[in-house]
Each structure stands twice: as C-alpha cells, then as structure tokens.
Amino acid sequence: MGFHEMHIPLTSFFFEELQPFEVLSGKGTAFAKLEKKESMLLLNLSIDSKLRAACDRCGDELEVEVSGNMDLVYKFGEEPSLDETLVVLPKDAFQLDLFQPCFELMVISLPTRFVHDEKDCNPEIIKLLQTPEWSSPDPRWEALKKNN
C-alpha cells in the first residue's frame, strides 16, 4: 500500500522504436507515480522529451518538445479489458513493464506534423516550392475536369 515514484530515462533504444513515426532521435524522461491499493494499482505517467525529426515542409532537421500525461488502472484478474485505461494483470504478476505505456503516451503526444516556423525553413527549398512550375496546374487534370 502507498505511493511509489520513479524517474525513467528514455534512452536511444526507446526513440529507435519511434522511427515508423519519423522520429530520428531524442532524449527525455518519463515520470511514474504509482499508488498501490488493496485491489488495484493506479498509475499516473508523464513524459517530457526533445525529439529530432525532419521538417515536413523543407526536409531539414528540427527539434520538437513533446510532453504528455495519462492515467492507467491495473487490476488483477483473468478477463481481458476492453477499456484502454484498464490493464488486467495475471494474479501472480509481481512487476509492471512500463515500456508499452510510455511508448503509447509518446505516440499520442506526437504532433500531427513536424514543421519549422516558416522563417526557419531552408530558404532554398521554400524558393523551389514557390516556383511557378510547381504551382501551375497539370493540364491532364483540366482535361479530366471537362468529363464531369
């Protein structure tokens, strides 16, 4: 019974798992506060990190600060839970693996796009994106529009 607190360093291995989300690297910390009750465990999990990713506009690297917070309830039992905030543990479990909750919290905390402020984007790429040949419509689309 009682409270337990821990700081968990998020290592390069952790950030390597985020490559499918276009995260290049990162560093950070997770903070877990666990309240142990008679029939359940209550976990408050928060993360603070700095990530390196490619800008979705210009392609240059940028640093993004990501933070998030979530609560989970752990109960002992046999029946799986359909509630995403309730984790059912086997009756003989004696430790919690916090990798998956930290990973899920990081993923839901990621921004939808990684972009510099426009003034910080690579000016050569911005100039290239603004050239008329990129912005002029493709004549094949115009021919297709006539079919409607």
Digit-coded pLDDT (tens) for 110-127? 999 999 987 889 988 888
128 domain residue, yes or no: no
pLDDT digits (tens, 9 = 90+) for 22-63: 999 999 999 999 999 988 899 999 999 999 999 999 999 999
Which residue is associated with the tokens 């985020």? 18
Query: What is the number of domains present in the chain?
Result: 1
Q: What is the pTM of this model?
A: 0.79
130 domain residue, yes or no: no
132 domain residue, yes or no: no
Tokens describing residue 31: 């903070």
> Domain range holding 113?
2-120
| Residue 148 pLDDT level (bands cut at 50, 70, 90) | low
Alpha helices in the chain (DSSP H): 12-16, 99-109, 123-129, 132-135, 139-145
141 domain residue, yes or no: no
Among residues 136, 109, 127, 110, the alpha carbon closest in space to that of 57 is found at: 127
Q: Are strands 86-89 and 61-76 parallel, antiparallel or unpaired?
A: parallel
